[in-house]
Chains A and B, each alone.
Chain A
Amino acid sequence: MDQQVKISVDEQGRLRRRPLVADLVSKRDDALLVTGLGGATYDVAAAGDSDKNFYFWGGMGLTAMTGLGVAIAQPDRRVVVITGDGDMMMGIGSLATIASAAPSNLAILVLDNERFGETGEQIGLSAGCTDMALMAKGAGFETTATLSTEEEIGSLPGLLYKTPGPVFVVAKVAPGNDERVLPSTDGAYLTRRFRDAL
């Protein structure tokens, strides 16, 4: 476990998502986490379950908007959305909604493996000409970044937890499915315990 809380790369120098997320979760302090269905939910659950995590198991495309809702309702808490490229692309229009609402306490991290990991590793749109950080910039996000190397990723905790929001970061990560660590699928339970933890 301790070994995992360390940034690491694969043989091609690509960031491994599981230790990256474990490192970020270890630095969360009292941040509230909202995770997108599939790999992002498993990555955050693998880093250790918490009442202050809300995991999506469906509703593809909505994770960022739910993060916005938490951020509006809890303006004194940092809210971090951790999701995948497929989920973010499906809700890409929500970047305009979020930028306009301008929550200073919200950051979005997209773990971009350029694949639909849940359904057989089919190539996603972010593998091609589409630049999500540029789309976020166009939507009105003042702080955007695409990070893909060990050196670049050093700025990620600061961006997610400290930089005034809304912040949008794409972390390019290696494809491939890690072990599936499954949190509760009981949505009513996940919702109630999150509210009770506030």
Chain B
Amino acid sequence: MSWSEDVFKVLDNHEVATIATVPDAGLTGVLNLCENSETKKVVTLTTEEEGVGLMQGLWLGKQRGALLMQSSGVGNCINALSVVASTRTPCAMLITMRGQWGEFNPWQVPMGHATQPVMEAMGVYCYSVEQADQIAETFDAACGLAFNGGYATAVLIHQRALGTKVF
């Protein structure tokens, strides 16, 4: 998928050296590119809030990181986001959505419905993308705002861009 390659280039351009993730199907392309890259380390997390703590530590150590996860993981991050908000630490997030358009699994819908509101309640600047060819440019802008402004930012990749999960 070409958007994965473009997102990988965005990570490179912003000198992101460590990727934290609880994986999602839609992120497989980007994560594989990062795993196979000599310039990036991938840290697989037990739960997503660990990634916010990791972003705090990477920034303290003068390195740039990014957090890649599924929208259900956003719920796990709520209190953790108070840390990067209190310290003005960049926290760039790329989030694949569940529980939207055409979702087959109703258990995914409540958190998918709440993802953007809870992030915005925690001070995260959110950018929703519905077309695959806009993912990388939007993530580029979100990384710029995070690293230059000390903000938490998130690109939410709509299921229209990903296709819905079916069994």
A: which residues have CB within 8 A of B? Answer: 32, 34, 54, 56-74, 91, 93-94, 96-97, 100-101, 187-188, 190-191, 194-195, 198
Contact = CB atoms under 8 A, between A and B. Distances in A.
Contacts of B89: 191
B57 A73 contact: yes
Interface of B: 17-18, 41, 43-47, 49-63, 65, 79-80, 82-83, 86-89, 150
A63 B87 contact: no
Contacts of A61: 49, 53, 80
Nearest to A96: B46
Given A72-B18, A73-B63, A97 B56 contact: no
Nearest to B54: A69
A194 B54 contact: no
Contacts of B18: 69, 72-73
A62 B88 contact: no
A198 B89 CA distance: 17
B87 A187 contact: yes
B49 A58 contact: no
A193 to B, nearest CB: 10
Interface centre among B43, B54, B63 (most CB of A within 10 A): B54
A93 B46 contact: yes
A194 B79 CA distance: 23
A57 B86 contact: yes
B34 to A, nearest CB: 14
Contact of B54 (A32, A65, A96, A190): A65
A62 B80 contact: yes
Contacts of B45: 94, 97
B82 A198 contact: no
Interface centre among B49, B53, B63, B83 (most CB of A within 10 A): B53
Given A66-B56, A74-B61, A190 B80 contact: no
Contacts of A67: 57
Nearest to A95: B46
Contact of A69 (B44, B56, B86, B87): B56
